[in-house]
A = this chain, B = another copy of it.
């Protein structure tokens, strides 16, 4: 039997034990900050020359501004070279991700109020976005789709991908995903040096307005440092799932539990139930699956270090546990999931019922798989159309409107000691032309 922590909401110190369970330190690259700052400054100053120096040093190939470019034609070649099932799966995923994100479109609006002010909100896409794609061993074509498709739907004019090719190796399925999802240009570079190239631009790589996509701690540290020069998405931490179950098939629940654990030893899987017997059945099923899964070593380390089976008394308690965890992924494998759903305040994505394993959402359901990790679902959202757009306020006034509300504004300006602010209003108020 695998050695998974069991907790009971009735035991003394349960809240403290739960807190301790959730204290996973995310490695955000604090130790490489200075190294990364040096790389950023160097690429900003020397452009391609620095970019290629670091690429030779870290990825082991001698490149130039010309040889790093991956053209649309090269992506199309990859698309043509992969199998029919590869193409069909990528196409279906792309279409479904597009359909979901199209629902996130918001219209501009404007209204005129009783004093004659016309106020509104305009939404416009970002001009150019950079997509960081990890290379080498952990090459995830699904990540290309999840980042590129919303940008395309948002109306971003140019999507630029960087992907490291250590030892010159490139993943054909990643290129095929870039092709089908609408990436315009690719560059075979990675690491902090690629983030610098996207943020500042080089002779070859255009500067972008926002950088999205996952990476190792060097990439994470670089994204933190360039934030402000361009936008960044969230800094992804270790992934987690919470399954709330009241029965169902223990083997299914165990597989769902392990699907998170196989990602990474730092991943966290937690099962919450009112049924102690189910917790035991799932624990057995986890062990059975671990006997045959290729990534059992990683998954076992994850479940034995960070996993937990939690017994609660009722669904109110279950909701409290979920809200404390604020999980990236939440499965409600329940007969009556809509009883607990209104009580859930914090979760990145919620999978409802017995037929929706998280993996369906990771690849093909349509909603984004880039989700807030490590309790950040308390204040942040899945990647979406809105990450590739920004809003502008629109403000129009008639003379009558300024007369109605201008004096109050001028008063507040004087009270804040900002007389030029007040003057702009007073000049309009005294104008009788």
Write the chain B residue with the least CB distance to A391: B381
Contact B92 A103 (CB under 8 A): no
Write the chain B residue with the least CB distance to A374: B228
Does chain B have a CB within 8 A of A165?
Answer: no
Does chain B have a CB within 8 A of A361?
Answer: yes
Q: Binding site of A, secondary structure by majority: helix, strand, loop or mixed? A: mixed
CA distance A173 to B413 in the complex (A): 12
Contact A397 B355 (CB under 8 A): yes
By a CB distance below 8 angstroms, the chain B residues around A366 are 113, 117, 119
Smallest Cβ distance from A369 to chain B, in angstroms?
A: 9
Does chain B have a CB within 8 A of A357?
Answer: yes
Does chain B have a CB within 8 A of A258?
Answer: yes
Which size bracket describes the interface of A in this complex? Answer: 35 or more
CA distance A360 to B408 in the complex (A): 9
The proximity string for A residues 94-131 relative to B, scoring 1 for CB distances below 8 Å and 0 otherwise, is: 00100110011010010101000101011010110000
A395-B365 in contact given A103-B111, A228-B235 (Cβ < 8 Å): yes
Write the chain B residue with the least CB distance to A402: B355
Contact A392 B418 (CB under 8 A): no
By a CB distance below 8 angstroms, the chain B residues around A360 are 395, 397, 402, 405-406, 409, 424-425
Contact B420 A289 (CB under 8 A): yes
Among A351-407, those with CB < 8 Å from B are: 351-353, 355-368, 371-372, 374, 376-382, 384, 386, 390-399, 401-402, 405-406
Write the chain B residue with the least CB distance to A92: B408
By a CB distance below 8 angstroms, the chain B residues around A428 are 252, 355, 357
Smallest Cβ distance from A93 to chain B, in angstroms?
A: 7
Write the chain B residue with the least CB distance to A323: B127
CA distance A399 to B357 in the complex (A): 12
A411-B85 in contact given A140-B416, A209-B379, A377-B392 (Cβ < 8 Å): yes
By a CB distance below 8 angstroms, the chain B residues around A415 are 86, 89, 141, 173
CA distance A349 to B88 in the complex (A): 44
By a CB distance below 8 angstroms, the chain B residues around A359 are 409-410, 413, 418, 421-422, 424-425
Smallest Cβ distance from A12 to chain B, in angstroms?
A: 22
Write the chain B residue with the least CB distance to A89: B408
Smallest Cβ distance from A94 to chain B, in angstroms?
A: 11
What is A's interface to B at a CB cutoff of 8 Å? 26, 28, 85-86, 88-90, 92-93, 96, 99-100, 103-104, 106, 109, 111, 113, 117, 119, 121-122, 124, 126-127, 139-142, 173, 209-210, 228, 230-231, 235, 237, 249, 251-252, 255-256, 258-259, 261-263, 289, 293-295, 299, 344-353, 355-368, 371-372, 374, 376-382, 384, 386, 390-399, 401-402, 405-406, 408-413, 415-425, 427-428, 431
